Structure 1
Amino acid sequence: MRLAALLFCLATPAFADPDIVILGEVHDNPDAHIGQARALETLQPTAVVFEMLTADDALRADQDRDQIPAIWDSSGWPDYALYAPIFDALGAARIVGAAAPRENVRAVYGDGAAALFGSDAPRFGLDAPLPEAQQTQREEMQFEAHCRAMPREMMAGMVELQRYRDAVFARAALEALDRYGPPVAVIAGNGHARTDWGVPAMIARAAPEVTTHATGFVEGTADMPFDTVTIIPPAERDDPCASLKTN
């Protein structure tokens, strides 16, 4: 029995009311995906929004679920076997993709999130700069996340990209809610699931009448705010910074 079975602590009442449930993850941790799958089995959502799939890929996956492994393998994300429990738990839920096109991701650095997002940018707060303290904090977090190996002046662009992606995921979840009804689930990294400035905050700003619940599946202790937290054992992995270290 995997430890996630022992550590999984999401109670059914937590999913009784929210319109949108955001399920965070550590991308390469199999226990995170087992936990997300169990959450989906409890929730039985009408639709599941994936950070990892484009709208076109999700449409193809939704139309022919036998093609999901092949579609996934072309997405550039970790091996499909890690995510198979999630897809096995979908039931009748529709598959929705929220991954931004690569050309948009690249353009955010030069043009800014608001320009790429479109006319809805003010609704999600993309037309305004972040508070100075939050901007500084987020740039420092990006610097650490990239092993302190990239120039600090690039971190503002990283933060802008994160804001853009959070807004894209939030918009996709709201559109799925309008189309399919509640509850909708979102599968995304823990950084996107955090309640202070991630997808839940974007939804609260854009559609304050919509209720959300965010769960983080975290290794060790939670250093981000969530509505609920499930602690999972760390995955076995090589040092992600090893290739960037100099002798």
Structure 2
Amino acid sequence: MKTLFSMLRRPVATFVALILILMLVNVSAPRADNRDVPSPPTDWVSTLDRDHPLVGKIYATASNTVVSAQDMGRALALARFVLLGEIHDNPDHHLWQAWAIRAVSKLRGARIVEGHPQIDVIAMEMIRADQYAALDRFYGRDVEVPRPRPPKALARFLEWDKSGWPDFKIYEPIISQALYEQLVIVPASPSKELSRKVSKDWDNALSQGEIKRLGLDIAFSSDLENALTAEIGKSHCGLIPEAAFPAMARVQRFRDATMADAMLSVGPYKGAILIAGNGHVRRDRGVPFFLMARGVTPKQIVSIAHVEVRPGETNPAAYVDSTPEGKPAVDYVVFTPRTDRPDPCEKMRKDMSKGAPTPSTEKKSEPARNRATDVKP
């Protein structure tokens, strides 16, 4: 009997030991999970202040805490409209924007956002409405048998080198990711001609129906209006006469309303991503203002500012713009090193001293604290 009991007990003990071993392996071994966001791009291209303690950190303004890439990625994937700000000439900001596009697509592919609107479109501030024909040629919409084109071909079709935007090479990661995820790139900015009309002759540039449709009939509060005009003065280094501010403010509002319209072109049941300067993604008076004016709920919008660290400033809250009511103007802030660049205000002074024309009202009015680099050259 004892021998029989020993024979029966041995297989049970072996089985229990095997289960324990498998449990230990399961706990200790790293597991790949398609619900994890991709690794953030921390091989920095910008050279200044890489060792700053905030570099690579993500700050959530609502909770006043530093959060993980996973946390922010999930918030993006759950949103209908994702607004990705930037300083235009910082290549790390474009790498993080491309990462955000990838994170949204990956998490949506993992079905964690079942029932949420599908994001189909990436609207880019750098592309104007009068460039649709060039986009059609890039995508091959004008031929019977379209062929895939490399991302860098878009620069040729858009004549990017004549646009005044920074080198296309630093924007290429965004284009590559959009094509890989099969998201359609659309213009976010109005045509040059219409921008000029809005600047010079607001009363006749747009019909009353178009003004109402875009949400431009909703006036800013006096606090918002004053904040916008003050920012215009700062972003142009105090070199623009105040008499030009109202026209520039009108163009700024028109541009933001047009960007919102580009995002809403997906229809009532889908979503979009915006690539634009940090000033345009502000929740109080930027593109979100016009999205909400047209019925989008605040919870459907997530806004991210990508900012450069400042020497000696380690409080993440100090980098966050505030609304007139004292609330954060964006939802998340991503910190990167600084790009080495000449002082744009000094360049503007030299250009004006040589008799060069003052900055066009078509150009963006965004903060001088970004060393005016959010303003298109």
TM-score normalised by length of structure 2: 0.60
Superposed counterparts of 1:113-192, under 5 Å = 115-116=205-206, 119-175=209-265, 177-178=266-267, 182-192=270-280
Structure 1 residue 50 corresponds to structure 2 residue 124: yes
Corresponding residue to 1:205 among 284, 290, 293: 293
Decide which structure has the larger Cα Rg and report it: 2
Q: 3-state DSSP class of the match of 2:189? A: coil
Aligned to 2:85: 24
Aligned to 1:68: 154
Q: Which runs of 5+ in 1 are unaligned?
A: none
Q: Distance in 2 between matches of 1:239 and 1:133?
A: 30
**Shift in Å, 1:54:** 2.1
Determine if contact 2:98/2:177 at 8 Å carries over to the other structure.
yes
Determine if contact 2:56/2:334 at 8 Å carries over to the other structure.
no
Determine if contact 1:53/1:75 at 8 Å carries over to the other structure.
no
When structure 1 is superposed on structure 2, of 55-64 and 30-39 the one drifting more is 55-64
Corresponding residue to 1:102 among 192, 203, 225: 192
Q: Distance in 1 between matches of 2:139 and 2:208?
A: 27
Structure 1 residue 86 corresponds to structure 2 residue 174: yes
Q: Distance in 1 between matches of 2:204 and 2:335?
A: 35
Please list the CA deviations of residues 117-148 of structure 1 after superposition, one character each: whole Å capped at 9, or x if unmatched.
76232244312443222222211110110010
Please list the CA deviations of residues 209-245 of structure 1 after superposition, one character each: whole Å capped at 9, or x if unmatched.
5821111111232325111111122211100011333
Please list the CA deviations of residues 27-57 of structure 1 after superposition, one character each: whole Å capped at 9, or x if unmatched.
0111110110100111124211011112314
Q: Distance in 1 between matches of 2:240 and 2:90?
A: 25
Backbone CA RMSD of aligned residues = 2.5
Q: 3-state DSSP class of the match of 2:340? A: coil
For 2:125, give the aligned amino acid.
E
Superposed counterparts of 1:8-19, under 5 Å = 10=69, 11-19=72-80
TM-score normalised by length of structure 1: 0.89
Question: Structure 1 residues 206, 115: closer, same or farther in 2, change over 3 A?
Answer: farther
For 2:332, give the aligned amino acid.
T
Determine if contact 1:61/1:95 at 8 Å carries over to the other structure.
no
For 2:136, give the aligned amino acid.
L
Size of the aligned set, in residue pairs, is: 245
Q: Distance in 2 between matches of 1:192 and 1:61?
A: 27
Q: 3-state DSSP class of the match of 1:234? A: coil
Structure 1 residue 40 corresponds to structure 2 residue 101: yes
Determine if contact 1:215/1:229 at 8 Å carries over to the other structure.
yes
Q: Which runs of 5+ in 2 are unaligned?
A: 1-42, 45-49, 59-67, 106-118, 141-147, 310-318, 323-328, 354-377
Corresponding residue to 1:222 among 300, 312, 320: 320
Q: Which has the higher contact order (CA 8 A, sep 6+)?
A: 1
Q: Distance in 2 between matches of 1:118 and 1:20?
A: 27
Task: Give structure 1 regions of 4+ aligned residues with deviation exceeding 6 angstroms.
Answer: none
Determine if contact 1:194/1:226 at 8 Å carries over to the other structure.
yes
Alignment identity in percent?
A: 31
Question: Structure 1 residues 190, 94: closer, same or farther in 2, change over 3 A?
Answer: same
